[in-house]
Amino acid sequence: MPQYPNRQFLDFEAPIKALYEEIEVNKSLAENNSNVDYTGIVKQLEDAIIAKREDITANLTSWQKVQLSRHPDRPYSLKYFSKIFDDFTELHGDRNVKDDKAMVGGFASLDGETVMVIGQQKGINTKMRQVRNFGMANPEGYRKALRLMKLAEKFNKPIITFIDTPGAYPGIEAEERGQGEAIARNIFEMMRLKVPVICIIIGEGASGGAMGIGVGDKVLMLENTWYTVISPESCSSILWRSWNFKETAAEQLKLTSDYMSQFGLVDGVIPEPKGGAHWDYDLAAQMVKDYIKPLLAELKEIPAAKRIRNRIDKFGSMGFYDEA
């Protein structure tokens, strides 16, 4: 986790940055004045930072939450794999075309119990962002994910997916290799998986690209994430005919975790550390772990056929319409 001064701050996080700068000033004053005690004031400022973190996230607009979900310091799938589980053992490739670096997965141990973990992965620096294709998987990424899910099913291991994507990649080769078919196939097959499936949106949950690993007995969202059918930017460009209405689009789409939970489209919201998951990776991972462990135990009690039927019925009840 990056520490100040390597942290990055969003516009609305500027007051936190100002407090960090004040701490630095006091620290350098302390170095030059050994007879004055600065620890009290530094401690005060550190507390003020935590309070400010909480303060800021309590009053975010939908668009600001979207920005937070894309925070460059935010933990990605592999970070959660390493902090929630032991012995993460990565598996590669779709056995057909290639190994998609935007989709990662493998066996991992949840307090001694083997599970299959799968997720989109974004890069942590400029070079890796290219390698990971900004978390936008190609069809082979979805097929790799499906291969791992079928492997888990074969050996009766629960599946936990971590969703964080701005969308499935829109490219020529992606279309040639059937991006739509790959996502459709995954949704279809996930619906029938005989093992428990938990899906967690840890950042961006953009449309079919997210849904391609998003069918679960329990679908959860981290507090500062979004999940809907289109990004606010694209929605603005199509419905408002301009890129300038992304804030309005974000409000209209009601895409944040509180709305999604209220609508019954997700099964729960996992809280994040004050100010967002990027402030404390260990705590963020612990909060996810604490949330999913009892859920998994609960799901394992249900017979497979019943679990599948529940899954089909849960999604089957989603939608609004009038019936004359």
Partner 1 sequence: MATEKSKQFDDFENQIAGESFVEGITEEQRTKFFSRNEKGITTGTNEKKEIPDGLWVKCPECKYTSTTMELKENLFVCPSCNYHHRIGSDEYFDILFDNKEFTRLFDNIKSKDFLNFVDLKPYKKRLEDYWKKSDLHDSLSVAVGNVEGLPLVVACMDFEFIGGSLGSVMGEKICRAADYSLEHHIPLMIVSKSGGARMMESAFSLMQLPKTLGRLSLLADAGIPYISLCTDPTFGGTTASFSMVGDIILAEPKALIGFAGPRVIKETIKKDLPEGFQRSEFLLEHGFLDAIVDRKDLKVTLGRFLKHFKN
State how beta strands 113-120 and 103-110 pair.
Answer: antiparallel
Interhelix angle 232-239/62-69, rounded to 10 degrees, is 130
Stretch that binds partner 1, among 110-118, 123-131, 189-197, 270-278 (CB under 8 A): 189-197
Under the binding rule (CB under 8 A), the answer on residue 181 touching partner 1 is: yes
Among candidates 228, 250, 234, 274, which has minimal Cα distance to 66?
250
Stretch that binds partner 1, among 4-12, 95-103, 279-287, 316-324 (CB under 8 A): 316-324
Among candidates 257, 169, 237, 178, which has minimal Cα distance to 207?
169
Least distance to partner 1 from the beta carbon of 229, Å?
A: 4
Mark residues 228-247: x for contact with partner 1 by CB under 8 A, - for none. Answer: xxx---xx--xxxx------
Quick one: which of 68, 78, 215, 277 contacts partner 1 (CB under 8 A)? 215
Under the binding rule (CB under 8 A), the answer on residue 63 touching partner 1 is: no
Torsion from C-alpha of 238, 243, 244, 249, nearest 10 degrees? 40
Task: Transcribe 172-233 into DSSP letters.
Answer: HHHHHTTHHHHHHHHHHHHHT-SS-EEEEEEEEEEHHHHHTT---SEEEEETT-EEESS-HH
Least distance to partner 1 from the beta carbon of 319, Å?
A: 3
Under the binding rule (CB under 8 A), the answer on residue 191 touching partner 1 is: yes
Interacting residues with partner 1 between 292 and 311 (CB under 8 A)? 311
Quick one: which of 87, 192, 243, 262 contacts partner 1 (CB under 8 A)? 192
Quick one: which of 117, 168, 277, 288 contacts partner 1 (CB under 8 A)? 168
Segment 304-311 long-range contacts (CB within 8 Å, at least 24 positions apart): 304/194, 304/195, 307/194, 307/196, 307/217, 308/191, 308/192, 308/193, 308/194, 310/217, 311/191, 311/197, 311/215, 311/216, 311/217
Under the binding rule (CB under 8 A), the answer on residue 208 touching partner 1 is: yes
Residue with tokens 């004050």: 274
Least distance to partner 1 from the beta carbon of 31, Å?
A: 50
Looking at the Cβ atoms of 141 and 273, the one nearer to partner 1 is 141
Looking at the Cβ atoms of 92 and 254, the one nearer to partner 1 is 254
Interface residue list for partner 1 (CB under 8 A): 168-172, 174-181, 183-185, 187-188, 190-192, 207-208, 211-212, 214-215, 227-230, 234-235, 238-241, 249, 252-255, 260, 263, 265, 311-312, 315-316, 318-324
